[in-house]
Structure 1
Amino acid sequence: MDERQLRILRELGELGSVTAVAEALLVTPSAISQQLRLLQRSIHVPLTERDGRRLVLTPAGQALAGAAIDVETALARARHTVDDFVGRPDGVVTLAAFNSAAAAFAPLLLSAFSAPGSPRLALADEDVAQDRFPRLTRDYDLVLAHRLDHAPAWPRTVSVTTLLREPLDVAMPAGHPLAAKRHLLPHDVADHPWICVHDGFPLMATIDAIAAAANRRLDIVHRVNEFAVVAEVVAAGGGLALMPRWTARPHPAVVLRPLSGVHAGRRIDVLHRPERTARRAVVTVLTELRRAAATIRER
C-alpha cells in the first residue's frame, strides 16, 4: 500500500469510474487498474466490486478511501515542512468562484491582500452545475460554491465553510404591478413569464418549488445563468427572475421582493480538500473570506 494507490482509491470513490480517474491523473485506465490490483493484494477484504459496467467501492473500500484523506493530509504537511512552504504568508492561493460570488468577493479580497507579504491570489471563474463543484477542489486551493439550503450536503471528501445563507428574492421591473407588494406568494408570480438558470444549477429547485406551491407550471421564457444579464433582461420586461439579495449587483431599473410560501435561499460555501489548509496562505485567505462575507451581508 502506498500513497499513489490510496489516492487512486479516493479518486475512484469521487469520480465513479476507472476511466474518469485515469483522465484526472493523466494515466491510462490499465495503469489505474494495475495499481488497484496491487492495493487489493495488501488488503484481506474486497475494496471494489462491479455495479453493472462500473467499478465501485465496497464499504471497506470507502473506509480506506476516507483514511486516504488523512494520509494525504499528513504527507502534504510533511512536504510543506521540508520546503518551508507551510509558513509562507505570501504564497500563491488559487481560488475558483461562481460568477456572482466572484463579483462580490474578489474586490474585497484583492483590496485586503494588496500589501507586500500578503497571499497572492490567482482567481478563476467556474460556474458549474452543483454536483461538479467538489471536483474543482482537485485543481484549486479554495472553491466558492453555492447550493440551496435543502439540497443534499456536499460530500464528506471535502471540507466546507459556510460564508453566507443568502435569501433569494423575486426580481421585476421597477414599474411592475407586483412591485407594490411587500411580500410575494407563489400564486402571485406563477402566471408571469420567467427567466431561469439552466437545468442542473441550484436555483432550478426553487423554481420547481414555486410551481408546485402554485399548482401550475411556470412559463420559462429565457435561460440565463449570469445575474448581471438576468437583471438586464428583467429590466427590459423579459420576465420575473430569482435573484440573490446580497451578491447580485443592484440594477436601477430592477426591484427585489421577498418570496414567502416556499423556502427561497441558498448557501455560499467554501470547499477545499483538507490538506490545503496545511498552508498558512490558504488559511489567511479563508479567514479573509469570512470577513468579506460579513461585509457583504451588512451592505
Structure 2
Amino acid sequence: MDERQLRILRELGELGSVSAVAEALHVTPSAISQQLRLLQRSLPVPLTERAGRRVVLTDAGQALAEAAIEVESALARARHTLTDFAGRPDGVVSVAAFHSAASAFFPLLLRGLVGPDGPRLALADEDVPQDRFPALTRDHDLVLAHRLDHGAPWPRTVASTTLLREPLDVALPAGHPLAARPEVTPGDVADQPWITVHDGFPLMATIEAIASVANRRLDIVHRINEFAVVAEAVAAGGGLALLPRWTARAHPDVVLRPLTGVHALRRIDVLHRPERTARKAVRTVLAALHSAAAAVRGHEGDAAPRPAGD
C-alpha cells in the first residue's frame, strides 16, 4: 500500500469510474486498474466490485478511501513542515470563485495580500452548478462556493468554512409600485415576470419556494446567471429577480427589498481538500478571506438592504 494507490482509491470513490480517475490524474485507465490490483493484493477484503460496466468501491474500499484523506493530510503536513518552520508564507495559492463572490472578494484579496513575502495569488472564476464545486478543489487550493442556508451540506471529502450567510432580496425597478414597501411577500411578487438563474444553481430552490408559498407557477421569462446583467435587465423592466444583498453590485435604478415568508439566505463557503491547509500560504489566504468577508458585510448586519443608488 502506497500513497499513489490510496490517492487512486480516493479519486475512484469521488469520481465513480476508472476512466474518470485516469483523466483526472492524466494516466491511462489500464495504469489505474493495475495500481488497484496491486493495492488489492496487500489486503484481505475486496475494495472494489462491478456495478454494470463500472468498477465501484465496496464498503471496505470506501472506508479505506476516507482514511486516505487523513494519510494525504499527514504527508502534506510533513512535506511543508520545514517551510512553515522557517516562517515562509510565500508560494502560489490558487483561488476559484463563482462570479459574484469573485467580484466581491478578489479585489480585497489582491489589495490585502500585497508585499514581497506574502502568498502569490492565482485567481480564477468558476460559475458551475452546486454539485460541481467540490470537484474544483482538485485543481484549486481554495474554492468559494454557494449553497442555500438550509441546503444539503458539502460532501465529507472536502473541508468547508462559512464566510457569509447572505440574505437574498427581491430586485425591482426603482419605479415599481412594490419598491415603496419595506418588504415583500411571495404573494406580492408571484404574478410578476421573473428573471432567474439556470437550473442546477442554488437560487432556483428559493424561486421554487416562492411559487410554492404563493401556490402558483412563476412566469420565468429570462435565464441569466451573471448578477450584473440581471440588475441591468431588472432596471430595464425585464422582470423581478433575486439578488444577494452584499455581493451584488448596487445599481442606481434597482431597489432591493427583503422577502418574507420563505427562508431566503445563501451561504458563501470556502471549500478545500484538508491537506491543502498544511501550507502556511494557504492558511494565510484563508484568513484573508475571512477578513474580506467582514468587509463585504460591513456594518449592515442583518439590517434592511440598501435602496437604489446607495
On whether the aligned pair clears a TM of 0.5, the verdict is yes
1: CA distance, partners of 2:88 / 2:179: 52
2: CA distance, partners of 1:230 / 1:87: 45
Structure 2 match to 1:9: 9
1: CA distance, partners of 2:177 / 2:183: 13
2: CA distance, partners of 1:52 / 1:153: 29
Structure 2 match to 1:199: 199
* Residue identity opposite 1:123 in structure 2: L
2: CA distance, partners of 1:195 / 1:29: 44
Are 2:84 and 2:279, in contact at CA under 8 Å, matched by a contact in 1?
no
Structure 2 match to 1:296: 296
Query: Residue 133 and residue 208 in structure 1: after superposition, are their counterparts in 2 closer, same or farther (change >3 A)?
Result: same
1: CA distance, partners of 2:163 / 2:198: 24
Structure 2 match to 1:256: 256
1:221 equivalent in alignment to 2:224: no
2: CA distance, partners of 1:83 / 1:289: 22
Cα shift readout 1:98-148 (whole Å, capped 9, x = no counterpart): 100011011111111112211111111011111111111111110000011
2: CA distance, partners of 1:144 / 1:120: 18
Are 1:173 and 1:253, in contact at CA under 8 Å, matched by a contact in 2?
yes
TM-superposed deviation, 1:86: 8.0
Cα shift readout 1:46-82 (whole Å, capped 9, x = no counterpart): 2122333332222211110111011111222222236
Structure 2 match to 1:96: 96
Structure 1 match to 2:177: 177
TM-superposed deviation, 1:31: 1.5
* Residue identity opposite 1:271 in structure 2: L
Query: Residue 46 and residue 224 in structure 1: after superposition, are their counterparts in 2 closer, same or farther (change >3 A)?
Result: same
* Residue identity opposite 1:210 in structure 2: I
* SS, match of residue 89 in structure 2: coil
* SS, match of residue 251 in structure 2: coil
1: CA distance, partners of 2:175 / 2:51: 56
2: CA distance, partners of 1:17 / 1:149: 31
1:231 equivalent in alignment to 2:231: yes
1: CA distance, partners of 2:16 / 2:82: 34
Once the two structures are superposed, the pairs formed by residues 154-173 of structure 1 within 5 Å of their partners are 154-173=154-173
1:147 equivalent in alignment to 2:147: yes
* SS, match of residue 266 in structure 1: strand
* Residue identity opposite 2:268 in structure 1: I
- Which consecutive residues of structure 1, in runs of 5 or more, have no partner in the other structure? none
More deviation in 191-200 or 74-83? 74-83
Structure 2 match to 1:285: 285
Structure 1 match to 2:135: 135
Query: TM-score, normalized by length of structure 1?
Result: 0.96
Structure 2 match to 1:59: 59
What is the percent sequence identity of the aligned residues?
79
Query: Residue 130 and residue 240 in structure 1: after superposition, are their counterparts in 2 closer, same or farther (change >3 A)?
Result: same
- Which consecutive residues of structure 2, in runs of 5 or more, have no partner in the other structure? 300-310
TM-superposed deviation, 1:87: 4.2
* Residue identity opposite 1:189 in structure 2: V
The number of residue pairs the alignment matches comes to 299
More deviation in 245-254 or 182-191? 182-191
1: CA distance, partners of 2:52 / 2:85: 44
* SS, match of residue 101 in structure 2: helix
C-alpha RMSD over aligned residues: 1.4
More deviation in 28-37 or 276-285? 28-37
Are 1:77 and 1:86, in contact at CA under 8 Å, matched by a contact in 2?
no
Query: TM-score, normalized by length of structure 2?
Result: 0.93
Q: Which runs of 4+ in 1 moved over 3 A?
A: 81-87
* Residue identity opposite 2:242 in structure 1: L
* SS, match of residue 154 in structure 1: coil
Cα shift readout 1:14-61 (whole Å, capped 9, x = no counterpart): 111111111101111121112112111111112122333332222211
* Residue identity opposite 1:211 in structure 2: A
* Residue identity opposite 1:249 in structure 2: R
1:210 equivalent in alignment to 2:210: yes
TM-superposed deviation, 1:190: 0.8
